[in-house]
Structure 1
């Protein structure tokens, strides 16, 4: 996923103790939130892709299990 330099101001409700701890540790809360959201988006997109392509992946795996790798005879190792 490409990282964008454009920023959008937003409001978040975050546990007060967590915010205090982050500030005490010098953590950039906005950047940490952005990193966490980016990670969640990436994971969710990957999970959705796997779900959407589950039948195709199973079909491909079943083919290899039943017939072997299509070009296995051309392997030099």
Structure 2
């Protein structure tokens, strides 16, 4: 018996291209599962972009510090620790 809690789901109305929906049904594509997965990807990418923007100053400062004080780059551009 599977005791893993399932995420809550919410019914929603969306508008999709009719021919695309018909083709998906013909191909036995589960729209809810597919759209949920795609939305998870989009949300994750958006969160990553927002995090990078919110932390841009700190990331740049860290990169400058490393460039100026720590590990030199090898000829192929990689950091080398000896």
TM range (shorter): 0.7 to 0.9
Which is helix-richer, 1 or 2?
1
Normalised by the length of structure 1, the TM-score is: 0.82
Equivalent position to 1:24, from 10, 21, 26: 26
Size of the aligned set, in residue pairs, is: 68
Normalised by the length of structure 2, the TM-score is: 0.77
Cα shift readout 1:34-66 (whole Å, capped 9, x = no counterpart):
111111100000000000000000000000000
Equivalent position to 2:68, from 44, 66, 69: 66
Instruction: Show the counterpart of 2:43.
Output: 41
Equivalent position to 2:13, from 11, 14, 18: 11
Instruction: Show the counterpart of 1:51.
Output: 53
Structure 2: runs of 5 or more not aligned: 1-5, 72-80
Structure 1: runs of 5 or more not aligned: 70-74
